[in-house]
Each structure stands twice: as structure tokens, then as C-alpha cells.
Amino acid sequence: MLIWLLILCSCFTNTGLLVASESEIYRKALSHYQNGEFELAAASFDEAKRNGPREPLIYFYQGNAYYQLGDLDNAIITYTAGLEYAEDKSAFFYNLGNCYYLKGNYQFATEMYDKALSLNPALYDSYLNAGNAFYMAGNVEKTILRWETYLEKYPETPQYEKIERAIAYLRARMSSNGEDASSSGFDEELMNDVMSDLDRLLNSTENIMEKSEKPVDDLSIEGIER
């Protein structure tokens, strides 16, 4: 669930991202980023854009820097701009999903995670994160479906037992028709524990979109893909 951080440039060959410029400006920006100097990184990547405006890694890392600074609006704008240049856009959509989740826009978050999965079915955390978003939106059935798919696709997850228990709790709550589901051996505190745990993990991290006066939350999936 972690936003993709501190990944070596060579790793992006597996995701279809282009190799970023090896200019001194880019290396300086990346060094700031890897050292956790996110304000300096964001500013330096702006300078790097002037030398390599079509390099997707610049937008990807700058988006991550904004994300780490808690500037989700600029992270969204930057990731969306990078979609224009990335050969494989799945990582950008995944991180957009994380941004919208943290902004409380759970519908957009699930749309972004679905888009990421359509491009890269191996992004298993998208199932988990989408399930979290559906849970926050109150859609229990879709929460169960996404979490079950996540466990099926990624049984190695250290969260397996906890998520399995949470799914069982949600099913018991659904079958109780609004009655107290704790009699089935489950406790509401379990869900609070699960969501706190998963949110803690989340917080550890197609045309170019210009900044405008309209709120970022007004963007539509159709607008992003057009």
C-alpha cells in the first residue's frame, strides 16, 4: 500500500516508465528526494522539467515529493501531467488513487485503482486500497469483494489473517440484518484495528492537466483519460 518511494531508476524499466534524464539537475533533485528533503526536491524537479519536460520519472518523483509534504492537490496535478509521457501509466494511477483516498474522495480513489489494475493486474495493493475506500464509503459488499480478491491474488501478505477476520466480521454483520454481530464472535473493534493498520501503511507514502482555479476534486475520470 505504500506509495512507491525511493525506487531506483532501473526498477522503472519493469513498469514501462522511461529512463529519466541523467542531467546534473535531475540527479540533484533525486538526491534531495532520496534524502527526504521533499521541499527542495519538488523545486528542483521543476527546474529539471525545463531540461526534460517529457521525462515521466520527473513527474513521478515530484508527485511523490508533494505527497510526502501533504500537498495532495499538487501531487494529483503532477501525477496527472506525467500520464501524458509515461508508457505504462499504472503507477501514476495507483498513486492518484492514494491521493484521492487521503482526500476522502473514495469514488475517485476506486476509479484510479481500477484504472491501475486494468493496466497492470499485478498491482495487487490496488485491490486492498479499493476495498478500504469502499469500506469508508459504506459499501460493504464491494469491500468484501476487493479484500477477498486481494487475499486470492496476494496470499503472502502479512495482513492475511487480519483481513480474513475482518471479512468474516463484515459477513456476520450483513447476515445479522442490523442486529449486534458481536454475538457471532466478532467485535467492531476489529474493523477499527484493521482500518487503522491499513491506513497507517497507506500514509507511509491522459493529457497534461494545467493548474486551474477549479477544485481538483471536480476532475472527472473521463477528463483524465481523454
Q: How far apart are CA 97 and CA 224, in angstroms?
A: 13
Q: How far apart are CA 76 and CA 63, in angstroms?
A: 7
Q: How far apart are CA 195 and CA 199, in angstroms?
A: 6
pLDDT of residue 200: 65
Cell of 85: 509521457
DSSP string, 28-90: HHHHHHHTT-HHHHHHHHHHHHHH-TT-HHHHHHHHHHHHHHT-HHHHHHHHHHHTTT-SS-H
Task: Give yes or no for a contact between 206 and 84, defined as CB atoms under 8 angstroms apart.
Answer: yes
Question: SS3 for 68?
Answer: helix
pLDDT of residue 187: 62
Low-confidence residues of the chain: pLDDT under 70 = 1-22, 177-188, 199-226
pLDDT of residue 115: 97
Contacts of 133 (CB under 8 A, 6+ apart): 97, 101, 106, 109, 110, 113
Q: Where are the beta strands (DSSP E) in 1-146?
A: none
Q: How many helices (H) and strands (E) does the chain have?
A: 11, 0
Per CATH, the architecture of 1-89 is what?
A: Alpha Horseshoe (1.25)
- What CA–CA distances, in Å, run from 97 to 60, 90, 115, 156? 14, 11, 9, 23
Q: Comparing C-alpha atoms, which of 216, 208, 50, 37 is closest to residue 61?
A: 37
Task: Give yes or no for a contact between 44 and 23, defined as CB atoms under 8 angstroms apart.
Answer: no
Cell of 34: 532520496
Can you give the residue ranges of every domain in the chain? Answer: 1-89, 105-205
Per CATH, the architecture of 105-205 is what?
A: Alpha Horseshoe (1.25)
pLDDT of residue 141: 95
Tell me the whole-structure pTM to 2 decimals. 0.77
Task: Give yes or no for a contact between 197 and 214, defined as CB atoms under 8 angstroms apart.
Answer: no
pLDDT digits (tens, 9 = 90+) for 25-55: 999 999 999 999 999 999 999 999 988 888 9
pLDDT of residue 172: 86
Contacts of 52 (CB under 8 A, 6+ apart): 20, 21, 23, 26, 58
pLDDT of residue 22: 58
For cell 497534461, name the residue: 208
Domain 1-89 and domain 105-205 have a common topology? yes
Task: Give yes or no for a contact between 117 and 97, defined as CB atoms under 8 angstroms apart.
Answer: no
